[in-house]
Amino acid sequence: MRTQSLEVFVNRAWTRTLSVLTACIASLSLATAAAAQRSEAPRSNTEKLMLSLALSGTSLYSENLQDESHNGGGFSAQLGWGFNRLFTLLVDGSGSVMDQDKDDRFVLVHFDVLGRFNFAGPRRAWVPFVEGGFSGRVAGQDNIVVNGIGGPQEVDLEISGGGLTFGGGVQYYVVPALALGANVRWTVGEFKTVKFNNVSVDGVEIDATTTRINLGLTWRPMIGRR
């Protein structure tokens, strides 16, 4: 009888121990799976629709202008489409008020069509990139006093032209749909058209280099949509 009782006790103890071990293994498996899912969750997204706003610092350098160097600040806005995680096509419009602390301040505007190559991976929160493309530039100043045939008069002056733009930067994805970013762009080319009021003069060649530094926010509203 004692042997049978001991055997029953051992069997019950073994059964309970096995149940506890099974439960522990199951819990560990679920925890491991959950951790794996968390580790595999994407940290960044560089595909589909991209909307960006940024603050800009801009400089203009030209040996053909009376003052070779001009500096200012403004803002920019971008609209883009990521065809895949590596390549994005975007358009950008930016404007800056140059020489803000001077009486002869003027406005400088850029329009860019750029291709961007992202060094991206779904597990990376930091995404560096390089970009390049074509740009149009317009600089304008109102109410400039010039000496005309009938004496001094005020005119609105505008110079415009195209150029090539290249640059790069980095984005940090706070969440896959939202990123903070910084980038620098250089545009080289010529201002080829001068406009006084409504009179345009073509064939002008004013070599100029502009540098822009942008700090901004990028939102991808289609994240998670198929």
- Does the residue 224 lie in any domain? no
Same domain, 131 and 64: yes
Task: Name the DSSP letter for residue 86.
Answer: S
Q: Can you give the residue range of the structural domain that contains 28?
A: 1-41
Tell which residue, 116, 106, 161, has the closest CA to residue 136: 161
**CA distance linking residue 224 with residue 45, whole number of Å:** 9
**Are 133 and 205 contained in the same domain?**
yes
Q: Is 112 part of a structural domain of the chain?
A: yes
Give the pair of three-digit tokens for residue 205. Answer: 């060649």
Q: Which residues contact 50 (CB under 8 A, 6 or more apart)?
A: 78, 79, 80, 81, 82, 88, 90, 218, 219, 220
Q: What is the pLDDT of residues 6-21, one digit of tens each?
A: 455 445 555 665 565 4
pLDDT in tens, 52-97: 999 999 999 999 887 889 999 999 999 999 999 999 999 999 999 9
CA distances in angstroms from 91 to 52, 72, 76, 154, 191, listed in the order given:
10, 22, 11, 35, 21
What is the total count of domains within the chain? 2
Mean pLDDT value of segment 201-226:
87
How far is residue 217 CA from its own chain's centroid?
A: 7
DSSP structural state of residue 40: H
- 143 and 81 within one domain: yes
65 and 37 inside one domain: no
175 plus 70 within the same structural domain: yes
pLDDT at 2 over 60: no
Q: Which CATH number does the domain housing residue 199 bear?
A: 2.40.160.20
Residue 88 and residue 33 in one domain? no
* Percent of the chain scoring above 70 in pLDDT: 77
